Amino acid sequence: MLGLYTKEIGKNLFMVELETGGFKNLICSYVIKGKKPVLVESGPSNSIPNLLSGLKELDVKLEDVEYVAVTHIHLDHGGGAGTLLKSLPNAKVIVHPRGMPHLVDPQRLWPSSQKVLGFVSEIFGKPEPVPKERVIPVTEGTFDLGYGAKLSVIETVGHASHNLSFKESFNGGIFPGDAAGTYLPEFDVVIPTTPPPFYLDAALSSLDKLISLEPTALYFSHFGKANNAIERLKDYKLQLQLWADIAEEGVGKNWSLEQIRDKIVTEDTAMRLVADFVKSHRIYSKTVLENCVRGFIECAKQGS
Ligand SMILES: [Zn+2]
């Protein structure tokens, strides 16, 4: 069934277009219909009403939802968890232990997000706290989905010190959070998601981990399902290395952020394809062309 907010993308697997702030193809959540429904990503607090409409469209009973697995606590992924849980009386949140304190007490997360994201944080919305007893902190492990299927947790730090990926065994696909970049379905292109503090070496090792699991598909939170998963992960490694090399050269030669950014856009084939789109996009022009470039610059300055 193809609905306003939801789309079937695999066996027992659906995506929900969150249309946060009216932006299409920006952020999505996923629903795995095992014995009990499991969600991956709450998305931001401002689009929880859209997520709830999606669940209704998928005939998911709110009291049946067992887990909300968040890849990390950035506002666009886990920021809405507290708000969402008010509507899901029996659900628990799966999160990396380093992210847990910020879910339970988002007081520091909000001002730091405002500082990094600027006006984008207002589009995402302020996070509400998640009750401590409803959080399951994990770095590795599996959760039973019923019907012989499971959801595996894979620690994939780099984008953040607390990024998790999840693999579902109904189809063999992986939810990488932001560990595998941002997928632009309009162009079938992946671009880096590397705001500061970005950890390049950790990000590359995490990609090796995901490649070794031989995923059949990637379910990007930004945005949607992509095939050729292994090839994409390998390409993303090369892309990160290219950006890192340019940032390192730029830092060594005292280039401005704009000069480094322009060189990246010229030298990265994927970026060249989407440059006009990204430059004119209200959110991506801020997050990709500013924050993600800055992530590499800070990384280069620290000699990481
Ligand atoms: Zn994100």
- Cα(221) to ligand 1 centroid in Å equals 7
pLDDT exceeds cutoff 80 at 84: yes
Q: Residue 267: which residues within 8 A CB-CB, separation 6 or more?
A: 242, 246
- Cα(63) to ligand 1 centroid in Å equals 27
- Cα(256) to ligand 1 centroid in Å equals 25
- Cα(178) to ligand 1 centroid in Å equals 5
pLDDT value, residue 68: 98
pLDDT exceeds cutoff 70 at 14: yes
- Cα(72) to ligand 1 centroid in Å equals 9
pLDDT exceeds cutoff 70 at 304: no
Average pLDDT over residues 269-289: 93
- Mean pLDDT of all residues in the chain? 95
pLDDT tens digit string along 255-278? 999 999 999 999 999 999 999 999
- Cα(177) to ligand 1 centroid in Å equals 7
- Cα(11) to ligand 1 centroid in Å equals 25
pLDDT tens digit string along 199-235? 999 999 999 999 999 999 999 999 999 999 999 999 9
- Cα(148) to ligand 1 centroid in Å equals 31
- Cα(86) to ligand 1 centroid in Å equals 23
Angle of helix 229-252 versus helix 257-267 axis, rounded to 10: 140
- Cα(182) to ligand 1 centroid in Å equals 8
Average pLDDT over residues 283-296: 92
- Cα(77) to ligand 1 centroid in Å equals 6
Helices within 61-177 (DSSP H only): 81-85, 100-104, 109-117, 119-124
267 vs 287: CA distance, rounded Å: 19
Give 2's pLDDT tier (boundaries 50, 70, 90). very low
- Cα(137) to ligand 1 centroid in Å equals 20
- Cα(99) to ligand 1 centroid in Å equals 14
Regarding pTM above 0.75, the answer is: yes
